[in-house]
Structure 1
Amino acid sequence: MLSLQKYLREAIGWAGAFFSLTAFSLNSLNVISSQSMEYLLMNVIGCFLLILYGVSKKAYASWVLNSIWLLITAIALIKVFLA
């Protein structure tokens, strides 16, 4: 039987996947721009949650990839704020 902690871990992973996929989909369908605050913030949230999930599962490739993606997104977010 799964404990509450395991359910929470899985929920965090699914929420991260949802935010990342939603951002990508909305951008691909030209609903939002890749430089919009909505896109960048959804990516930040998605990456952060997927990093938490990857670390909890000891999925090194996943959390390293999402950490790099988060860094790139953070740089883009800073550029948007400074513009």
Structure 2
Amino acid sequence: MVTLPKYIQEAIGWTGALFSLSAFSLNSLNVIGSQSVEYLSMNMIGCFFLIIYAVNKNAHASWVLNSIWLLMTAVALVKAFLT
């Protein structure tokens, strides 16, 4: 496994957190729906970056949780495209 420099790890982690928090906030404020492509895409991007961050930090519980969340979001996104 390649270990990224600390500043890149932190940038990836903060980017993931920003996407996830933005998706949640926009949904909570009824700006976007929980089944919208925008919401699901933002969640997927956030999860992806948080997985990279957690793997580099050896935070196993975090990357497993975000991997499951990413998989569930991917299924919902496929479902949104099919309907």
TM-score by length of 1: 0.94
Partner of 2:56: 56
- Residue segments in structure 1 that go unaligned for 5+ positions in a row: none
Indicate the SS of the match to 2:30: coil
The one-letter code matched in structure 2 to 1:75 is V
Q: 1:10 and 2:10 equivalent? A: yes
- Once residues 19 and 39 of structure 1 are traced to their aligned partners in structure 2, the CA distance between those partners, rounded to angstroms, is 10
| Matched pairs, number | 80
Q: 1:22 and 2:27 equivalent? A: no
- Once residues 61 and 68 of structure 1 are traced to their aligned partners in structure 2, the CA distance between those partners, rounded to angstroms, is 11
Superposed CA RMSD in Å reads 1.0
Percent identity (aligned): 74
- Residue segments in structure 2 that go unaligned for 5+ positions in a row: none
Task: Name segments (4+ residues, structure 1) moved above 2 Å.
Answer: none
